[in-house]
Amino acid sequence: MSARQIRRRAFLLGGLGIAGMSAANLVKLSEPRSSVSSSATSGGGGLESSRSSLPGSASARPTLRLGWSPWADAEVVSLIAQSVIQQAYDVNVERVLADIGIQYASLARGDLDLMLMAWLPLTHRDYFRRVRERVVDFGSMYSGRLGWVVPEYVPASELSSIPDLRDPSLAARFENRVQGIDPGSGLNQASALALKTYLLKDLELVSSSSAAMTAVLDQAIRQQRWVIVTSWTPHWMFARYQLRFLQDPERVFGGIEWIHALGRPQLDLEMQDIAGFLTRFHLPDQEMSDLLLQANDRTAEAAVEDYIDSHQARVRYWITGEIAST
């Protein structure tokens, strides 16, 4: 363990008498819970067996399975939670990469313990309705928004709202394209609905990927070309470029969304300290954008480590509920 890690660990654990830090494993959701083990769990058991062990037990450390999706914000938030929980509460955290729909279903069944990517009240409304009586909602961690985005150099006097794009000459300025992301994403589905809702017959939604969308945006900005992309906040591109959302008067994309932490049934009763952390786990929007930019420019792991090191008072509040005196 490096001197830097020791200093950070000493801060996180200050006075709590917590045991050593563990390394988390990436595991497949399809793997049976009883077969999941962690290199740092002395008993070698999976989550099923670890639930009977109290935190700090000499025989075994509890293990939490944390679902996440391959989105930039989901990655950094899950890494922050993993680091804090492992170091402050002596609990192993296994990050489980899974489709968002699978995460909701697995959480309700108890196959996952946590997910930190519930977009509410609109984006994941249908998923949440199916499980809301069988999960614990710990509240929101940060806010988000979906929609169509243009560079600020596109004059707002000419384009401020999505229905403005009914003008064929204006649509032509964007080469009659809206650059989308993954074809099965909720954002692309909402974008297809926006084309119909606003009768945008002169525009085509181009499906690709999140990486392709940002590449198209970057190239257009370098050339000062007009471009429309489907996007969301928080996203690192809002920290790098001057951008704005187009107004959505019919609220096809909803409004401000709140990203919630959800837990399996009884998690709030079985692990009350971690439940307290989750209810206090909040990230200011600008800090999220800056963190995502750092993660994009470097690595998510390096960005998260630096964030924790440079926001010690905030992390201490997440853990203890104590607000540092100024």
Distance CA 169, CA 81 (A): 48
For the domain that residue 199 is a member of, what is the CATH number?
A: 3.40.190.100
The count of structural domains within the chain is: 2
Question: Which H/E stretch holds residue 113?
Answer: none
Span 103-120, average pLDDT = 96
Question: What element of type H or E holds 318?
Answer: helix 312-320
Tell the residue number behind the tokens 């909720």, with chain if given. Answer: 186
Q: How far is the C-alpha of 150 from the C-alpha of 221, rounded, in Å?
A: 10
Do 194 and 286 lie in one domain? The reply is no
Do 232 and 216 sit in the same domain of this protein? yes
Assess whether 226 and 112 both reside in one domain: no
**Does residue 325 lie in a domain region?**
no
Query: Is residue 159 in some structural domain?
Result: yes
| Radius of gyration (C-alpha) of the chain in whole angstroms | 22
326 within domain boundaries: no
Name the CA dihedral angle for 178, 179, 185, 191, rounded to a multiple of 10 degrees.
-10
Q: Which residue has the higher pLDDT, 35 or 29?
A: 29
Domain that holds residue 155: 145-245
pLDDT bin (cut points 50, 70, 90) of residue 326 is low
Q: Does residue 251 lie within any of the structural domains?
A: no
Co-location of 31 and 56 in the same domain: yes
- Residue 250 inside a domain? The answer is no
Q: Are residues 173 and 214 in the same domain?
A: yes
d(CA 209, CA 72): 13
Residue ending a domain, choose from 245, 274, 294: 245
Matching residue, tokens 């968002």: 100
Determine phi and psi for 149, rounding to 5 degrees.
-125, 140
Are residues 225 and 100 part of one domain? no
Shared domain for 128 and 169, answered yes or no, is no
Q: Which CATH number characterizes residue 303's domain?
A: 3.40.190.10
pLDDT band, very low/low/confident/very high, at 182 (cuts 50, 70, 90): confident
Report the pLDDT value the prediction gives residue 71, as an integer from 0 to 100: 84
Residue 14 is given by DSSP the state T
On the question of pLDDT at 31 being above 50, the answer is no
- Whole-angstrom distance, CA of residue 182 vs CA of residue 210: 7
In this prediction, residues 12-41 reach a mean pLDDT of 34
pTM strictly above 0.85:
no
Q: Are residues 52 and 154 in the same domain?
A: no
Decide if 138 contacts 260 (C-beta within 8 A).
yes
Number of other CB atoms surrounding residue 116 within 10 Å: 25
Whether residues 7 and 140 share a domain: the answer is yes
Query: Which of 245, 277, 310 is the endpoint of a domain?
Result: 245
Q: Do 106 and 173 fall into the same domain?
A: no
**118 and 237, same domain (yes or no):** no
Give the pLDDT confidence of 128-164 residue by residue, as tens digits: 999 999 999 999 999 999 999 999 999 999 999 999 9
